[in-house]
Amino acid sequence: MLVLFFYLGDVKYSIKCEKVREVAPMVTLKKVPNTPEYFAGLFNYRGMVVPVVDLCQLIQGRPCEMRLSTRIILVDYLKDDHTPYVLGLMAERVTEAVRRSEDVFLSPGINMGEAPYLGGIVMEEKMMIQHIDLDLLPESFNFLPMLQNGLDNAQEQH
């Protein structure tokens, strides 16, 4: 499978590329009052209003640092009514997309409870890389329309 590597602080993470539409440069976001801290804002992506989630704030409790390599990862989802929906994920040091076998991702052996989207771990060059499950991520956001992962069998497994 093709995975995208990025950092949140000093910790390296990965996501599957199958839902990734594009990795866009950082842009000025429209702030929305009374939203969770991890909601970074909205931006216009080719005529669509796209909500952006700050993954650093969501996972580590601090905002992403604005670096030249900070990017918005645009991910495709389906709403419950099967209309397409794009979600932006802000991450630091979005570095590379690489092929990895699914069997290299090992279970962390613990229940992630409040963060069910934190999946398996892959060891690479003595570094543990945490995988983020894009199918489970939107379930953590109560301000987004109901999304489906578009994979019926994946929903049945969860």
pTM of the predicted model, to two decimals? Answer: 0.84
Pairing of β 71-79 and β 84-99:
antiparallel
Each residue of 104-155: pLDDT tens digit? 777 776 666 777 788 888 888 888 898 898 888 887 776 665 554 433 333 3
Q: What are phi and psi of 71, to 5 degrees?
A: -135, 165
Mean pLDDT of 60-82: 90
The dihedral region occupied by 127, where left means phi > 0, alpha psi between -120 and 50, and beta the remainder, is beta
**Cβ within 8 Å of residue 158, ≥6 positions away:** 135, 136
Domain residue ranges of the chain, discontinuous segments joined by +? 2-148
Domain 2-148: which CATH class?
mainly beta
